[in-house]
Amino acid sequence: MGGLESKARPVTWLALVLNLLLAGFKLFAGWVAHSQAVIADGAHSLSDLTTDVALLIGMQYWDRPSDRSHPYGHRRIETLITALIGVFLAVTGLGLGYRAIATITEPHTQSVGSLAMVAALVSIVIKEGLFHVTVAVAKRAKSSALLANAWHHRSDAFSSLPTVLAVGAAMLSPNLWYLDHLGAIVVCIFILQAAWRIALPAASKLVDTAPPSDLQESLQREIHAFPRVRTAHAVRTRYIGAGVALDFHIHVDPEITVHEGHDIAEGLKSRLLAAFPDVVDVVIHIEPAPEEPLPNSGHF
């Protein structure tokens, strides 16, 4: 198994098990305590299993080496799953918002028991804790999909806040039922913001967007500082999953042998891969240097 999978799989299995247990507890608590809000929150936790399963399936593929069908590897599967999690979050947020607005004139009429409040609070604590654990693993594994799922956990904690308000309001005074709907609308906005932050970068990577300018400038300096490289041009960078692919042309002394040119390219490639952990692929084209130095024509 790949290094990314070995780091991401345990925390994803933990999330799946916790989501299943939380969903069962909230559905039971909502039924016993007569809380429609907690029952709905339990159904939402069941939907969280979708992204956990998607991650577990995706891990089987995105960390695999290249093959004949996928000569550039399978890393973009992770990017695709990241984008899908963002879309799923957006749909969830819009659904919560629509339900809050559509039922804003419907007061809560049932008496709610204290077990409903316990279920909602337990959900917030567990999901927030799961968010921090998943973020830590995602940063070590440099996994955008795992980071997206971490934010999904946090959005679930946020979505339980209106449930706490609804249950608390119902326990204190039936006249405060509208707080449930207003809180859900606010949470919907938070969820949509998280979905935007997740889906937009993933979509940009899928359409070969270049990495940040500071990385591009650092790559340019490293290339031009390498011994026996006179100039570089036609420099291109793009994302392949969470990694960066780099290809460019360099000018070298036209009098050297093919073997020497090959050694220069291999040495430069090794230096770039060692100096920049985010760079996962380097392709270098060797050209004889012209008599007159060319202006830098790289695409940085």
CA dihedral 162→166→169→173, nearest 10 degrees, is 150
Structural domains of the chain ordered from first start: 3-206 (1.20.1510.10), 213-288 (3.30.70.1350)
Burial (CB < 10 A; 0-12, 13-18, 19+), residue 114, is exposed
Q: How far apart are CA 279 and CA 269, in angstroms?
A: 10
pLDDT at position 296 is 54
CB 52 within 8 A of CB 16: yes
pLDDT in tens, 21-72: 988 898 888 788 766 667 767 766 776 777 788 788 777 777 777 778 877 7
Percent of the chain with pLDDT over 70: 85
Check residue 77 and give its pLDDT: 84
Query: Can you give the pLDDT at residue 1?
Result: 42
pLDDT of the residue at 3:
52
C-alpha 220/C-alpha 231 separation (Å) is 10
User: Alpha-carbon distance 11 to 96, whole Å?
Assistant: 27
Helix-, strand-, coil-residue percentages of the chain, each rounded to 5 = 70, 10, 20
Give residue-wise pLDDT tens across range 241-277: 778 999 999 999 999 999 999 999 999 999 999 999 8
pLDDT at 49: 76
16, 44, 80, 150, 152 from 50: Cα distances, Å: 9, 11, 15, 14, 11
- Give me the residues of the chain with pLDDT under 70, please: 1-6, 34-37, 40, 43-44, 47, 107-113, 170, 174, 176-177, 179-181, 183-184, 187, 292-300
Q: What is the pTM of this model?
A: 0.66
Q: And the tokens for 8?
A: 């991401």
For position 108, what pLDDT does the model report? 56
